[in-house]
A and B are shown apart, each in its own frame.
Chain A
Amino acid sequence: MTDRTHTLSPEDARNAAREVRKRRFQAFVFVVPLLVFILFAFVAPIATMLYRSVHNPTVANLVPETLAALEDWSGEGLPDDAVLLQFAADMKRMANERTSGQLADEINRALPGMSSVIKSSARALRRVDDTDLAANGVALLLDANDRWSDPATWRAIRDAGPIYTSSYYLTSIDLERGADGSIGARDVQIYKQLYTKTLKMALTITVLTLLLGYPLAFFMSQASDSLSNFLMVFVLLPFWTSLLVRTTAWIALLQAGGVVNSSLIWLGITDEPIELLYNEFSTILAMTHILLPFMVLPLYAVMRGIDPSFMRAAISMGSTPLGAWYKIYLPMSLPGLSAGALLVFIISVGYYITPALVGGTDGQMISNIIAFHMQVSNNWELAAALGSLLLILILVLYWLFDRFVGTDNLKLG
């Protein structure tokens, strides 16, 4: 039966709803592959990293009974013999299971030098038979190394016990928990200084790319199509060559016997080669070069859309060209400028390969230390904490940017 009235019947509403559902489902099907990919390749690793930075079950899994026995210990003086006996038994078991190395690594991080103590003690306790161990375990353990008589050793084991810990975050901002559980500065201050340096370098690179990129993008936006396309090739050229090749090219240019130094010596400006490579200078120089396209492209895209009549209008009304640029053109190009600056800043804060290759010790950034903890010191938990902190830092900066500039003012093209 056909409804001849002009009102929306329930059936009409159902039909309309079905159509909407169908369209939504189709849209969903289109993005499913990407969603799945992002979930596995991006969301999951980041979540794992965040989890790992507070989650460390290694010690708890290795010596659960010792840790349980340590719970009643006051932290002063040696723990009870029962605890020591239990630990001696655990050590024998770990030595036979060949897992004592893991414990050695974990405890060594909190108390340097403990690695060899644990490994040698484990070797000593391995051959002792069970009855002997039950009778003389405490003495055997204390004989194996005199550091077992030091309460600090036991505190380190106890403190490494909890599955969930904030100690990696404390370490990554150069803090540690003292014997009494209070938080104080660590003896070695590394990471705070490294974060500051990373931010400072990223800011320098952003300002440099801006100073180089803004006039270039402006010129390209005003130039004829053929000229701007030609210049665009030079801007994009770095994108078409391998990152490694570009960085290595800088090594060739800047090294002691490189092009720059030989030219300077030939010109008589200097007698000795100047140290241009493996420092902060070379890192900033190479990264400015590599990241310049990220500044130029959004700037150019925005500037292309600014009709020349805006500047002309301002000038015809009596404004000087510079005044018109400041009052009219700059605010209108701000979306491109902030997009480019944000892009360059965020990329350079987490940049790894260039500082690793041309940075030496002086030009290292936070990501190089993260890589170090991942690959060399095998402290993934600390790497995860440092990485998470970096993520938080960038989110905070992005929030500040949004507060003061506004993400509506962001335009990537």
Chain B
Amino acid sequence: MKDISPATFLRFDNVKKSYDQKNLVVKGFDMDVRQGEFITLLGPSGSGKTTVLMMLAGFESVTSGDIAISGKSINNTAPNKRNIGMVFQNYALFPHMTVADNLAYPLSVRKMPRDQIKARVAEYLALVELSDFGDRRPGQLSGGQKQRVALARAMIFQPELILMDEPLGALDKNLREQMQFEITRLHKQIGFTVIYVTHDQTEALSMSDRIAVFNDGVVQQCAPPSELYERPVNAFVADFIGENNFVSGKVERIDGESAQIQTDAGTITAQVADGLTTGSDCKVSIRPEKLFIHPTDHAYDNALTVTFNTRIYVGDFIRYYFKLPDGTDIIVKVLNDLSAPEFNDGADAQLLSLAKDCIAFPDH
């Protein structure tokens, strides 16, 4: 067992879960969470992230391994004794109770005196800016209002840890952005620790302190958003987070952190990812916004020769689709300004990039 640093609030230690005694849904999950951190579990559906959340909340048992809060194992603690707030995707507001009664519920099961409950409910209704809505039923609220009530209800008994299971999944785009802001505000203001599950990467990138990217029951990378985006450790993360182009090639030479990659479209100098060996096949990731179309004022290290396929007008930017010599698509995002060039069908073009924006992953 690893040493527990004093700052560690929540620890997952080699947590595994199997439902059918044959396959592991979660395969050895390790993570240390500091007090007050905003951690997002991000991954495609079926990757095991919700299972981790359910084990933490106590609604699924832990097959092996240990989950500890403040150094104490909670594996055998009943879910109602864990003191963990929870926000659900469908809000789970009790339809037969008013908003105020919903908020009062966790306090009344804790046998708090009536007048204190009333004061606390009023305080938290004000916190989520729904002071006038205490007497309404959840059915009379809009999606965003329901979400705010659900948040307030998860916070009102002042748990140190709040779990959110795709809480914004049912909202439309505008409301989602508003609620992201709202959740971030409350998190900063009150300082609870958040474990947030989502499959929406924009949500994850804009809100989290750290993101754990799940795939197939394994955490691929756990890092702050910028590192995840700029320095993905493997091809899955590079592909899953944001949009990416992959250029196939062969490793010619490795010089410490950088490598020379031979591709059909030209030689690329790229950063080396783990497991890359000289002479092996590899794929180089380059983000669409890190590619420039020749001619340009930008400095560059690599040039790829491609043919123009089509361009799509998106509004604030234009997406260019080029074809590599082997026929795969390569996408370039260009801001919709005067520098957006015009091409004839099938015309040749040069795509330029910096070596630090290209990462070579082993291809297997």
Name A residues whose Cβ lies closer than 8 Å to a Cβ of B.
307, 309-310, 312-321, 323-324, 327-328, 331-332
- Chain A residues with CB under 8 A of B23: none
Q: How many residues of B contact A (CB 8 A)?
A: 25
List residues 89-104 of chain B with CB under 8 A from any CB of chain A.
89-90, 92, 94-96
Partner of A332, one of B81, B85, B95: B95
**Interface residue? B318 (CB, 8 A):** no
Bound form: Cα–Cα A328–B106 in Å: 12
Asked whether B105 lies within 8 Å of A319 as measured between CB atoms, the reply is yes
Asked whether A318 lies within 8 Å of B57 as measured between CB atoms, the reply is no
19 chain-A/chain-B pairs, Cβ below 8 angstroms: A307-B92, A309-B90, A310-B92, A313-B86, A313-B153, A315-B79, A315-B80, A316-B85, A316-B86, A317-B85, A317-B106, A317-B157, A318-B81, A318-B106, A319-B105, A320-B109, A321-B80, A324-B80, A332-B95
How many A-B contacts at CB < 8 Å in the complex? 64
Asked whether B57 lies within 8 Å of A317 as measured between CB atoms, the reply is no
Bound form: Cα–Cα A319–B163 in Å: 17
Residue of B nearest to A312 (CB): B59
**Quick one: CB contact mask for B305-329 with A, threshold 8 Å, 1 for yes?**
0000000000000000000000000
Partner of B153, one of A317, A320, A321, A328: A317
A333 CB to nearest B CB, Å? 11
- Chain B residues with CB under 8 A of A319: 80, 105-106, 109
- Chain A residues with CB under 8 A of B229: none
Asked whether A332 lies within 8 Å of B79 as measured between CB atoms, the reply is no
Asked whether A318 lies within 8 Å of B83 as measured between CB atoms, the reply is yes
**Interface residue? B22 (CB, 8 A):** no
Bound form: Cα–Cα A327–B105 in Å: 9
Residue of A nearest to B81 (CB): A318
Name B residues whose Cβ lies closer than 8 Å to a Cβ of A.
57, 59, 79-86, 88-90, 92, 94-96, 105-106, 109-110, 153-154, 157, 163
Bound form: Cα–Cα A318–B109 in Å: 7
- Chain B residues with CB under 8 A of A317: 80, 85-86, 105-106, 109, 153-154, 157
Extra 17 A-B pairs, beta carbons < 8 Å, given A316-B154, A317-B80: A312-B79, A312-B92, A313-B88, A315-B59, A316-B57, A317-B85, A317-B105, A317-B106, A318-B81, A318-B106, A318-B109, A320-B80, A320-B109, A328-B94, A331-B96, A332-B94, A332-B96
Bound form: Cα–Cα A332–B138 in Å: 14
- Chain A residues with CB under 8 A of B94: 310, 313-314, 328, 332
Asked whether A307 lies within 8 Å of B79 as measured between CB atoms, the reply is no
Residue of A nearest to B87 (CB): A313
Partner of B110, one of A309, A318, A324: A318
- Chain A residues with CB under 8 A of B84: 316
Which residue of B57, B80, B96 has the most chain A CB atoms within 10 A of its CB atom?
A: B80
Bound form: Cα–Cα A282–B128 in Å: 60
- Chain A residues with CB under 8 A of B85: 316-317
- Chain B residues with CB under 8 A of A307: 90, 92
Bound form: Cα–Cα A323–B106 in Å: 12
Asked whether B88 lies within 8 Å of A318 as measured between CB atoms, the reply is no
- Chain A residues with CB under 8 A of B59: 312, 315
Partner of B157, one of A309, A318, A324: A318
Bound form: Cα–Cα A272–B157 in Å: 64
Which residue of A313, A315, A324 has the most chain B CB atoms within 10 A of its CB atom?
A: A313
Bound form: Cα–Cα A316–B90 in Å: 15
- Chain B residues with CB under 8 A of A324: 80
Bound form: Cα–Cα A331–B86 in Å: 22
Bound form: Cα–Cα A307–B95 in Å: 12
- Chain B residues with CB under 8 A of A320: 80, 109
A342 CB to nearest B CB, Å? 19
A76 CB to nearest B CB, Å? 68
